[in-house]
DNA sequence: AAAAGTTACGTTATAATATAACACTATGAC
DNA sequence: GTCATAGTGTTATATTATAACGTAACTTTT
């Protein structure tokens, strides 16, 4: 019960400013502990990802970075994203070609996403996909990476419409 | 056991020519029963998708269609794909931006894919993602569409390497 | 069968997403 | 300081996808 709530951060009302700060600081700690550099660029991109629990496209990130007089190019964004994805500080939402900040940085194992098609918020779960894993094992398939993206309507949005 | 084997067509040695013919003919039946037109174009694209159990990109499909003197353009392919996806005769593999023929046309419900990163073959399963569905229900999320793509190494490819 | 309505196809142009290749700069190790 | 490496910046281009508009083909109605 408590677990579910925690996992579904995106769909529960919370102090998001605190949420952002906590995640940013967790990212700093994680990088320090792994002897990696959370450079200014990487931090900028992570902060943009953490602005909301909605995924954002690489070119939208780029646009935000270029809001001032800066004129940087796509590779800069993609490289920062590459770093964040590798370290598990962000995730790629395949069905949207977009990216989102990880809400439990440092976690091990696979992640699943609940994507609301109405408010566009994305919640991150951490269940084992047990039945599938068993099926895979039965046919001798060794899972390396999983993409589990469930699109639908979150509780809030159901109320607002129906 | 038998179920698993059937589901994992892509990873089991089989008479693929027969497999193709069966699936094409199933597609014809399905369209007829739904009063839909499996036009020449749509059939062409489906046949290309059914050439193998590996996903293929829209532009590769286009290239095949343009092998003769034909010079058709992307929208034609995307429209045929749209039709096939809507009718469940093909699937989109999100993590590859590619498409694959459905191996059990007419099936109801969600599908999961096992994607071998070595031979690139894709098997289609039909399990309910029960644990996840329960989690979703617990937070009041109503699932509409699911993307489940497990990338790894198939049994054959494990032998060939390790 | 002509007219009208609808679905599918074709073409052009362009949008949106992503990467290759190469040069420059900062950082850490010695 | 020199060197090696990792990170950034820039240009150009590849890859994937769709908007917009016109034509052709099938269906339904009359
Ligand atoms: Zn938050
Ligand atoms: Zn919602
Ligand atoms: Zn086959
Ligand atoms: Zn394989």
Considering chain B, what is the average pLDDT of its residues? Answer: 91
pLDDT digits (tens, 9 = 90+) for A92-136: 999 999 999 999 988 888 899 999 999 999 999 987 767 778 888
- pLDDT tier, A2 (very low <50, low <70, confident <90, very high otherwise): very low
Q: Which ligand is in closest contact with the Cα of B116?
A: 4
What average pLDDT does the segment A78-103 reach? 97
Nucleotide nearest to B81 (CA to C1'): D17
pLDDT, residue A1, reads 39
pLDDT digits (tens, 9 = 90+) for B95-123: 999 999 999 998 888 899 999 999 999 99
pLDDT digits (tens, 9 = 90+) for B35-46: 999 999 999 999
**Is the Cβ–Cβ distance between A51 and A10 less than 8 Å?**
no
- pLDDT tier, A5 (very low <50, low <70, confident <90, very high otherwise): very low
- pLDDT tier, B4 (very low <50, low <70, confident <90, very high otherwise): very low
Burial annotation A83-111 (CB, 10 A radius, 16+ → b, else e)? bbeebbbbbbbbbbebbbbbbebeeeebb
Whether the predicted model's global pTM rises above the 0.85 cut:
yes
Instruction: Report the alpha-carbon distance of residue A119 to residue A92 in Å, rounded.
Output: 18
B151 contacts in chain A (CB < 8 Å): 143-147
Residue among A32, A53, A59 at smallest CA distance from A43 = A32
Considering chain A, what is the average pLDDT of its residues? Answer: 91
pLDDT, residue A7, reads 57
The answer to whether the Cβ–Cβ distance between A142 and B150 falls below 8 Å is no
- What structural domains and CATH numbers belong to chain B? 3-161 (1.10.10.10)
- pLDDT tier, A156 (very low <50, low <70, confident <90, very high otherwise): very high
Instruction: Report the alpha-carbon distance of residue A137 to residue A135 in Å, rounded.
Output: 5
**Is the Cβ–Cβ distance between B22 and B103 less than 8 Å?**
no
pLDDT, residue A4, reads 42
pLDDT, residue A127, reads 78
Does residue A83 have a pLDDT over 90?
yes
pLDDT digits (tens, 9 = 90+) for A15-46: 999 999 999 999 999 999 999 999 999 999 99
The answer to whether the Cβ–Cβ distance between A147 and B116 falls below 8 Å is no
pLDDT, residue B32, reads 94
What average pLDDT does the segment B126-152 reach? 86
Contact residues, B window 93-132, toward A, CB-based 8 Å cutoff: 94-95, 112, 114, 116-117, 123, 125, 127-132
- pLDDT tier, B136 (very low <50, low <70, confident <90, very high otherwise): confident
| Distance between A70 CA and the closest CA of chain B, angstroms | 32
Instruction: Report the alpha-carbon distance of residue A4 to residue A8 in Å, rounded.
Output: 6
Residues of chain B above pLDDT 90, percent: 78
Residue among A20, A18, A45 at smallest CA distance from A105 = A20
A62 touches chain B (CB under 8 A): no
B82 touches chain A (CB under 8 A): no
Q: Which ligand is in closest contact with the Cα of B6?
A: 3
Q: Which residue of B has its CA nearest to A135?
A: B4
pLDDT, residue A129, reads 66
pLDDT, residue A6, reads 43
Which residue gives the smallest C-alpha to C1' distance to D15?
Answer: B59
Does residue B88 have a pLDDT over 80?
yes
What average pLDDT does the segment B129-144 reach? 84
A85 touches chain B (CB under 8 A): no
> B89-95, long-range: CB within 8 Å, 24+ apart, which pairs?
B89/B27, B89/B30, B89/B46, B90/B46, B90/B49, B91/B124, B93/B55, B93/B122, B93/B149, B94/A94, B94/A95, B94/A147, B94/A149, B94/B147, B94/B149, B95/A94, B95/A147, B95/B149, B95/B151
Does residue B6 have a pLDDT over 50?
no
| Distance between A155 CA and the closest CA of chain B, angstroms | 5
B39 phi and psi angles, rounded to 5 deg: -65, 170
pLDDT, residue B87, reads 96
| Distance between B44 CA and the closest CA of chain A, angstroms | 26
pLDDT, residue B7, reads 57
Does residue A70 have a pLDDT over 70?
yes
pLDDT, residue A138, reads 87
Does residue B1 have a pLDDT over 60?
no
Q: How do strand B98-101 and strand B90-93 relate by DSSP bridges? A: antiparallel
A94 contacts in chain B (CB < 8 Å): 94-95, 147, 149
């Amino acid at each position: 019960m408590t677990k579910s709530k925690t996992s579904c951060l995106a769909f529960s009302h919370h102090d998001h400013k605190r949420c952002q700060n906590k995640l940013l600081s967790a990212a700093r700690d994680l990088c320090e502990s792994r002897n990696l550099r959370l450079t200014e660029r990487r931090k900028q991109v992570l902060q943009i990802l953490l602005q909301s629990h909605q995924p954002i496209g690489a070119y939208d990130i780029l646009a935000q970075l270029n809001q001032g007089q800066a004129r940087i190019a796509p590779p800069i964004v993609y490289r920062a994203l590459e770093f964040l994805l590798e370290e598990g500080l962000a995730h790629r939402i395949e069905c949207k070609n977009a990216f989102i900040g990880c809400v439990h940085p440092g976690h091990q194992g696979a992640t699943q996403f609940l994507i609301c098609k109405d408010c566009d918020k994305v919640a991150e779960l951490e269940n084992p996909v047990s039945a599938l894993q068993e099926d895979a094992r039965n046919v001798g398939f060794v899972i390396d990476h999983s993409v589990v993206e469930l699109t639908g309507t979150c509780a809030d949005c159901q109320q607002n419409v129906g």
